[in-house]
């Protein structure tokens, strides 16, 4: 047996996890982070700086200074982390990073509404990140950039998203909408609950089962076209849950209520791994449909009214 030389390149982007730690009131030790990167450096393509996130206790200015301090600590340790500039921080930090790097990250955007993010990003891309022709001067990563409209609006080099896993774990799948009979990745996808255990099973047009047969056919065409089946499960209550031994095709649905799920046919409705895979495929397809970087960012001029 011979193997083809077309090995997939591992594309690893290491996030410091600062945002998750901050949201869980935890702290990350920068020296542990540095040691971790050094130990695994050959596997990692890009690693982010350990950023300091502003809060009630830390002002935006202090957070920006702390982030820069961490950048310098990591650099002194011989590393070249991706610098991160956050929403609302003084521009001097962005200007400094732009002088020193050709790939930077924008962060702190997750809790900010699109309405507030748009003018901030418009200004950054127009005045600092792109040249006079609108072409990006550096590669820009958008941390937690999950809004499709903002993803498409700016010439990002990269973004990250957890939607694939979040949607799947909530029992859902992402399905692209159609325009003139073709899948349109410029529109927000439909999120359809398919899990047999989903609380949305009885909500009209929230769960696969509550859509019309015509709509169900459209959804089926999509996921069957990608090689997935909906699957089928049945549920029953058992007596004496403590002594009940699950069969190979069974799993607890609600152990407290002694309800056992029997997998009649494996598929999206009863296997979160399959939902994950289908949702990954959605993002891989979305990535393929996007404009090839670099492309110019230009603000569309507003049409003036007759009497203006």
Partner 1 sequence: MQIHLKGNTGFNSAKREKEILSLFDNRFHEFAKNKYLGDQDVLECLRIKAEQENDHEMVEKLQIRIDILVKGLVDEN
DSSP class of residue 107?
Answer: E
**Beta-bridge mates of residue 207:** 193
> Is residue 67 packed enough to be buried (19+ CB in 10 Å), middle (13-18) or exposed (0-12)?
buried
Tell me whether residue 218 or residue 280 sits nearer to partner 1 (CB atom): 280
Is there a contact between 17 and 47 (Cβ–Cβ < 8 Å)?
no
Is there a contact between 13 and 160 (Cβ–Cβ < 8 Å)?
yes
Tell me whether residue 66 or residue 201 sits nearer to partner 1 (CB atom): 66
Tell me whether residue 256 or residue 273 sits nearer to partner 1 (CB atom): 273
Q: Which residue is it, tokens 């010439």? A: 155
Distance CA 26, CA 212 (A): 47
By CB under 8 A, the count of residues binding partner 1 is 50
164 binding partner 1? (CB under 8 A): yes
Q: Which residue is it, tokens 């901050």? A: 22
CB 160, min distance to partner 1, A: 4
Of 60, 59, 159, nearest in space to 106 by CA: 159
Q: What are phi and psi of 75, to 5 degrees?
A: -65, -40
Alpha-carbon dihedral angle through residues 259, 263, 267, 268, given to the nearest 10 degrees: 0
CB 42, min distance to partner 1, A: 8
Tell me whether residue 12 or residue 91 sits nearer to partner 1 (CB atom): 12
Tell me whether residue 169 or residue 197 sits nearer to partner 1 (CB atom): 169
Of 158, 152, 124, 127, nearest in space to 140 by CA: 158
Distance CA 16, CA 49 (A): 7
The span of 9-17, 76-84, 124-132, 189-197 binding partner 1 (CB under 8 A) equals 9-17
Answer for which of 60, 75, 96, 161 binds partner 1 (CB under 8 A) is 161
The span of 82-90, 164-172, 175-183, 258-266 binding partner 1 (CB under 8 A) equals 164-172
Is there a contact between 145 and 154 (Cβ–Cβ < 8 Å)?
no
73 to 34, 49, 243: CA distances (angstroms):
9, 10, 57
159 binding partner 1? (CB under 8 A): yes
Tell me whether residue 1 or residue 245 sits nearer to partner 1 (CB atom): 1
Tell me whether residue 211 or residue 283 sits nearer to partner 1 (CB atom): 283
Tell me whether residue 73 or residue 96 sits nearer to partner 1 (CB atom): 73
Site for partner 1 in 255-294 (CB under 8 A): 273, 276-277, 280, 283-284, 286-287, 290-291, 293
182 binding partner 1? (CB under 8 A): no
Q: Which residue is it, tokens 């999950």? A: 146
- Per-position x/- string for 31-50, each x denoting binding to partner 1 as judged by CB under 8 A, each - no binding: -xx--x--xx--xx------
CB 213, min distance to partner 1, A: 32
Residues at the interface with partner 1 (CB under 8 A): 1-4, 6-17, 20-21, 26, 28, 32-33, 36, 39-40, 43-44, 151, 155-162, 164-166, 273, 276-277, 280, 283-284, 286-287, 290-291, 293
């Amino acid at each position: 047996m011979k193997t083809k030389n077309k090995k997939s390149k591992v594309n690893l982007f290491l996030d410091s996890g600062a945002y998750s730690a901050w949201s869980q009131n935890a702290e990350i030790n920068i020296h542990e982070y540095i040691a971790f990167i050094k130990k695994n450096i050959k596997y990692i393509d890009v690693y982010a700086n350990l950023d300091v996130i502003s809060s009630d206790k830390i002002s935006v200015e202090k957070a920006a200074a702390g982030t820069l301090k961490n950048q310098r600590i990591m650099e002194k340790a011989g590393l070249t982390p991706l610098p991160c500039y956050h929403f609302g921080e003084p521009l001097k930090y962005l200007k400094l990073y732009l002088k020193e790097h050709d790939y930077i990250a924008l962060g702190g955007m997750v809790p900010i509404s699109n309405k507030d993010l748009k003018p901030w990003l418009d200004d950054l891309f127009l005045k600092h990140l792109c040249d006079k022709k609108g072409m990006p001067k550096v590669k820009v990563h958008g941390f937690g950039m999950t809004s499709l409209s903002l993803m498409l609006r700016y010439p990002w080099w990269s973004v990250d998203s957890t939607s694939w896993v979040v949607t799947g774990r909530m029992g859902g799948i992402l399905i692209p909408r159609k325009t003139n009979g073709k899948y349109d990745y410029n529109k927000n996808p439909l999120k359809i609950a398919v899990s047999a255990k989903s609380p949305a099973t009885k909500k009209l047009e929230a769960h696969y089962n509550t859509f019309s047969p015509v709509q169900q056919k459209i959804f089926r065409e999509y996921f069957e076209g990608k090689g997935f089946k909906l699957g089928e499960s049945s549920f029953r209550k058992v007596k004496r849950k403590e002594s009940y031994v699950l069969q190979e095709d069974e799993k607890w649905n609600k152990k407290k209520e002694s309800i056992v799920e029997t997998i009649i046919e494996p598929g999206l409705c009863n296997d979160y791994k399959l939902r994950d895979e289908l949702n990954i495929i959605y993002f891989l397809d979305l990535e393929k449909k996007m404009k090839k970087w670099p492309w110019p960012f230009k603000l569309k001029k507003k049409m003036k009214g007759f009497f203006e």
